[in-house]
Amino acid sequence: MPHRLGAMQTLPSPMRRFQENDLVDYCIVGVGSAGGVLVQRLARAGFRVVALEAGPFWDTEKDWVSDEKGSHELYWNDLRITGGTDPLALGSNNCGKGVGGGSVHWAAFAPRFHPSDFRVYSEDGVGVDWPMSYWDLKPYYELLEREMPVAGPAWFPWGDPHGHPYGPHPLSGRGDVLVRGCTKLGIRSVAGGPVAILSASHGDRPHCIYRGFCIQGCKVGAKASTLITHVPNAISHGAEIRAHAMASRVSVRQDGRVDGVFYFDREGKEQFQRARAVIVSGYAIETPRLLLNSACPGHRQGLANSSGTLGKYLMAQAGNVVAGRFEELIRLYKAPPAHALSEEFYETDPRRGFARGFAIQTVGPLPVAFAKQMVAAMGAWGWGMRRVMMDYNHWSTLGVLGEILPWEDNCVELAEEKDQHGLPVAKVTFNLHDNDKKLIEFGKQKVMEIMWAAGAKQVVQESRFAHLVGAARMGRDPSTSVVDKFGRTHDIPNLFVCDGSILPTQGSANPGLTIQALAARTADYLIKQGDAIFFSNRRDLSEPGIRYDLSPPYTRFKGNPRIA
Amino acid sequence: MTKKSLPYLATGGDLKDLEQPGFYPGYSTMAQKRSWEDATRKTVTKRVTETAPIRFFSEKEATLLRAVIDRVMPQDDRAEERTIPILSVLDERLYKNSLNGFRYEDMPPDREAYRLAIKAIEEMAQHRFQQSFHALTVHWQELILMSLHDGKPEPANAAWQEMPVRRFWAMLMEDCVTAYYSHPWAWDEIGFGGPAYPRGYMRLENGLPEPWEKDERRYEWNAPVDSLSELREESASKRGSEHDHKGSH
Ligand SMILES: Cc1cc2nc3c(=O)[nH]c(=O)nc-3n(C[C@H](O)[C@H](O)[C@H](O)COP(=O)(O)OP(=O)(O)OC[C@H]3O[C@@H](n4cnc5c(N)ncnc54)[C@H](O)[C@@H]3O)c2cc1C
Ligand code: SF4
């Protein structure tokens, strides 16, 4: 049986295998949202690339199931310690493990950040400004919206208004609840996207069949994950994806440059991959963990940490879920959970008494997830649990997606505990601050109001968090940030970070599209710099110019609506 | 099942040995299994046909925990042969030490947490009612569990100084609902469509059933009249989450 990627696509074979002592140009750690795009770009541009991935190389037909419990292995289930005043749930709530990373189990909401997100300090006096503007990233948003591609409304009215290359999805019961409630209250909403799920077939990928198992991995291949959108093309262009390879340490030479990555292979044996440059794309927890675990003489506090900010300014978005019970049937399990949204409360409104804002989005918990929500939201147990679940089909759910600001005390450090390889695990500390609490309270009330307005007979809510980013933030000042605007560490000229960890602030848009757009931009930079990355310590911060010729097949210049 | 809630009234009458509780009589997700692809069919079928042996808990621990589970995820209304295995699923998770990816800094490792809690619950039963937990009446069992649910263990027990009772409660509930609501018989009970690849769904709006799904047929449903675990108004308001999980956007 060929290795399947969705219902139609198969993995290009054979895949190139580098020899044990081969020196490659780039060793990328982690093939997730960012890593998948990077490896594809760099391979296409002709670099010799090996990407190490701690988890398996999924065969979607054999390994994935349309089943909640059976999808446990998609997540990073290894131990992490979580604490602080508002400890974050990790595991299934954050990153993946396996080729595709978090893009395998994301819901695929794909809104852009707003122009204001890049200048929150200038505009609102909170957080920090990005070392780049929305307009630097905009062409990459448009590019990735085609590469994934993103389906959604022809007119998305918030931030920098834009359209989407694929048409919106048909309305689902829970999308209808959002639109109904918002309309009652005079709040604008959109439905059918923006979501990186195919509303029509695309190359060798079929369209969505509305089965609602997006978070369990899309067996159909309709939902974008780098496993199916970018990795196959990377392999066709000579990249090696080495699965079951857990990076343990980035190695530093006498002259202060990195020369490769130590990793544990499938058998638990330590190996070394030599490389002329290293890019860490391991997610906002594993990236700082790896760099901290790489501490060595000359870098006592971890690699790229002369500023002391590595691991700090970790962010999560507020993700309160509001559930409403309706007289009529909803059947919230149908259609992609990511379906309708409103960004009417995204920007700062001084009258609310806090900075920044939130989005309102549909969520679609399947029975197990919904029952867990009812434990928290209603204190349901025993017969009460049985009763509320008998009404499962009468409930609809909406989520707050709120911007939490970057705080120094929210961080990733190393714990005492070790993992199966003997490596210290990550300890994550998370505390809500005053602005965050006010924002969450307001957002929660607003979404409950929308749920009532939609006609719910009962409304409950559960507080929680989503989308970890930050912890290796980019910035202009090497004393307050870890990397520059292209992801190059301030301390080590041939060591890069490229994933959600470089975000200085997070807006209230889901981060996936932005993470992939940044990866494509970093790739363009690396390609433009060419061999200079491998030899020179000079830091050239000029813009690379976007490369439109490196997109995966079927996506080049395909259908981005041009709107005024 | 250790002890049924019988003879207390429920479901508008006596608790019956129902093939299938819920409002979707005659609906069967398993009847659809031919339309699922292999991997899913295998995973779900195995859940129905195979029950893992108890390997992590000792016999004594299992007896107590079974009694706890029968109260926090009661199935008195289900016929014996249609009871959904929960303890064995939990036991298997702990036996394999399969984690959910994290541990709260104020919690011991999952395995220890369960052992600690089992010991504590037995001591609470002995202290308050001078009997083993599993031998208590349903009402007394519920009184003890209710106090854990409320975060105010009655009587107090040293174990709850070592781990926050709310976190243990959340973990216990999550393990129980994961086992119960991942079972196709529970899907039949609540009218969940179940796996749908490669076929998919076609009626997305207005809660309409697919041709193979059933429409809801509601009737008055009541939990046993004396049960403490029936939803109470105040428990539904203003609860924060002690244990967050699967984000969905
Ligand atoms: C349930 C859920 C739903 C979500 N829905 C959305 C959504 O709708 N829209 C959205 O934009 N975002 C969503 N997200 C968030 C999104 O998935 C992440 O923000 C995104 O995937 C992060 O990308 P990344 O590149 O930083 O890391 P990841 O995609 O997590 O990739 C990191 C990869 O690195 C690997 N790795 C880590 N450490 C090592 C190591 N030491 N050695 C080798 N490999 C390593 C990991 O195994 C993983 O594959 C969701 C997340 C969850 C949990
Ligand atoms: S709903 Fe659509 S995108 Fe989601 S898993 Fe099903 S087919 Fe894939």
Write the pLDDT tens digit of every residue in A205-239: 999 999 999 999 999 999 999 999 999 999 999 99
The answer to whether position B7 is within a domain reads no
Say whether both B73 and B158 belong to one domain: yes
Least confident of A296-300, B13-17, B153-157: B13-17
pLDDT tens column, A248-286 = 999 999 999 999 999 999 999 999 999 999 999 999 999
Q: Counting beta carbons within 10 angstroms of the beta carbon of residue B97, is it exposed (0 to 12), middle (13 to 18) or buried (19 or more)?
A: exposed
| pLDDT of residue B236 exceeding 60 | no
Positive or negative CA dihedral for B124, B130, B133, B136? negative
Average pLDDT over residues B110-130: 97
Is domain A4-545 in CATH 3.50.50.60, yes or no? yes
Q: Is the pLDDT of residue B3 over 70?
A: no
What is the reported pLDDT for B249?
A: 56
Does residue B6 fall inside a structural domain? no
On whether the CB atoms of residues A209 and A559 are closer than 8 A, the answer is no
Q: Average pLDDT of A19-23?
A: 93
My answer on whether B86 and B116 are in the same domain is yes
Residue A507 distance to chain B (closest CA, Å): 15
Q: What residues of chain B lie within 8 A of the CB of A176, using their CB?
A: 205
Average pLDDT for residues B47-67, to the nearest whole number?
97
| CA–CA distance, A140 with A129 (Å, rounded to integer) | 19
pLDDT greater at residue B36 or residue A560: B36
Q: Do B168 and B109 share a structural domain?
A: yes
Find all residues with CB under 8 Å of A304, minimum gap 6, and list them: A291, A310, A472, A482, A483, A489, A490, A491, A492, A495, A497
> What's the rounded Cα separation, in Å, for the pair A209 and A394?
22
Tokens 């001084």 found at:
A350
> Are B24 and B217 within 8 A, CB to CB?
yes
pLDDT band at B240 (very low <50, low <70, confident <90, very high): very low
| Residue of chain B nearest A359, judged by CA positions | B249
* ipTM of model: 0.95
Distance CA B246, CA A152 (A): 25
Q: What is the rounded radius of gyration, in angstroms, for the C-alpha atoms of chain B?
A: 19
Nearest-ligand number for the alpha carbon of A170: 2
The preferred substitution site among A223, A225, A362 for testing ligand 2, maximizing ligand atoms within 8 Å of CB, is: A223
Residue to test with chain B: of A383, A413, A430, most B Cβ within 10 A: A383
Nearest CA to ligand 2 atom 7: A208
User: What gap in Å lies between CA A98 and CA A120, rounded to an integer?
Assistant: 34
Checking if the pLDDT of A553 tops 90, the result is no
| Environment class of B50 (CB within 10 Å of its CB; exposed 0-12, middle 13-18, buried 19+) | exposed
Angle at A155 between CA A154 and CA A159, to 5 degrees: 140
Please report where in the chains the tokens 């929305």 appear, as a residue.
Answer: A134
CB B30 within 8 A of CB B225: no
User: How confident is the model over A138-189, as pLDDT tens digits?
Assistant: 999 999 999 999 999 989 999 999 999 999 999 999 999 999 999 999 999 9
DSSP per residue over A157-193, as a string? -SSS-B--SBPPPPP-HHHHHHHHHHHHTT---EES-
Residue B13 pLDDT more than 60?
no
Q: How far is the CA of A79 from the centre of ligand 2 (A)?
A: 30
Residues B75 and B112 in one domain: yes
CB A50 within 8 A of CB A208: no
Pocket test for ligand 1, best of A216, A229, A510, A521 (most atoms within 8 A of CB): A510
Using the beta-carbon criterion (under 8 Å), do B206 and A90 form an inter-chain contact?
Answer: no
pLDDT at B169 over 50: yes
pLDDT at B11 over 80: no
Q: How far apart are CA A165 and CA A195, in angstroms?
A: 11
Q: Do A385 and B190 touch (CB under 8 A)?
A: no
Instruction: Band the pLDDT of B5: cuts 50, 70, 90.
Output: low
The answer on pLDDT for B140 being more than 80 is yes
Cross-chain Cβ contact A376/B236 below 8 Å: no
The helix/strand/coil state of B160 is helix
B245 and B151 both lie in a single domain: no
CB burial of residue B143 (10 Å; 0-12, 13-18, 19+) = middle
Question: Does B196 contact A at CB distance below 8 Å?
Answer: yes
Q: What is the mean pLDDT of chain A?
A: 96
How far apart (Å, rounded) are the C-alpha atoms in residues A230 and A234? 6
Tens digit of each residue's pLDDT (9 = 90 or more) over A47-69: 999 999 999 999 999 999 999 99
- Phi–psi pair at A359, nearest 5 degrees: -110, 165
CA nearest neighbour of B11 among B19, B24, B21: B21
pLDDT at B4: 56
B129 and B42 in a common domain: yes
Supply the pLDDT for residue B40. Answer: 96
Give the per-residue pLDDT at A561.
Answer: 59
Q: What is the pLDDT of residue A327?
A: 97
Question: Please, what's the b/e burial string for A386-423 (b: 16 or more CB within 10 A of its CB; e: otherwise)?
Answer: bbbbbbbbbbbbbbbbbbbbbbeebbbbbbeeebeeeb
Burial class (CB in 10 A: 0-12, 13-18, 19+), A314: buried
d(CA A215, CA A310): 30
Residues 6+ apart with CB under 8 A from A58: A64, A98, A99, A100, A104, A217, A227
Confidence of residue B244 (pLDDT cuts 50, 70, 90): very low
| Beta strands A49-52 and A315-318, pairing class | unpaired
DSSP B94-149: HHTT---S-EETTS--HHHHHHHHHHHHHHHHHHHHSS-GGGS-HHHHHHHHHHHH
B103 and B191 co-located in one domain: yes
In tens, the pLDDT along A384-426 reads 999 999 999 999 999 999 999 999 999 999 999 999 999 999 9
Same domain, B41 and B135: yes
Which residue, judged by its Cα, is nearest atom 45 of ligand 1? A30
| Cα torsion B154, B167, A413, A247: sign | positive
What percent of chain A has pLDDT above 70?
99
- Mean pLDDT computed over A473-484: 98
Res. A483: pLDDT tops 50: yes
Cβ count within 10 A of residue B166: 18
Domain residues for the domain of B236 are: 224-249
In one-letter notation, the amino acid at residue A497 is: V
The answer to whether residues B105 and B127 belong to one domain is yes
Residue B242 confidence (pLDDT): 40
The DSSP secondary structure of A490-557, one letter per residue, reads SS-TTEEE-SGGG-S--TTS-SHHHHHHHHHHHHHHHHHHTTHHHH------S-----GGGSPTT-TT
pTM above 0.90, yes or no: yes
Tell me the per-residue pLDDT of B82-109, one tens digit each, with 9 for 90 and over: 999 999 999 999 999 998 899 999 999 9
Alpha-carbon distance A248 to A261, whole Å?
Answer: 8
User: Are residue B90 and residue B174 in the same domain, yes or no?
Assistant: yes
For residue A34, give the ligand 1 atom closest to its CA.
25
Label residue A44 by pLDDT band (50, 70, 90). Answer: very high
Is 90 exceeded by the pLDDT of residue B6?
A: no
Whether residue B213 is found in the same domain as residue B234: no
Residue A40 burial (CB count, 10 A): 31
The pLDDT > 90 percentage for chain A reads 95
Give burial (CB, 10 Å; 0-12/13-18/19+) of A479: exposed
Tokens standing for residue A516: 């992939």
Q: Using the mean position of ligand 2's atoms as its centre, give its distance from the Cα of residue A209 in Å.
A: 6
Report the alpha-carbon distance of residue B246 to residue A69 in Å, rounded: 12
A556 confidence band (pLDDT: 50, 70, 90): confident
State chain B's mean pLDDT as an integer: 88
Residue B247: pLDDT over 80: no
| Structural tokens at position A42 | 């760099």
d(CA A418, CA B140): 42
- pLDDT of B237 reads 45
Cα A51 from chain centroid (whole Å): 18
Residues A185, A191, A194, A198: what is their CA dihedral angle, to the nearest 10 degrees?
170
HEC sequence for A248-279? EEEEECCCCCEEEEEEECCCCCEEEEEEEEEE
Q: Are residues B184 and B241 in the same domain?
A: no
Residues pairing with A321 in the sheet: A399, A462
A278 DSSP β-pair partners: A27, A495
Q: What is the pLDDT of residue B220?
A: 85
Domain total of chain B:
2
Side chain identity at A249, as an amino acid letter?
Answer: R
Assign B238 a pLDDT band (cuts: 50, 70, 90): very low
- Cα A135 from chain centre: 21
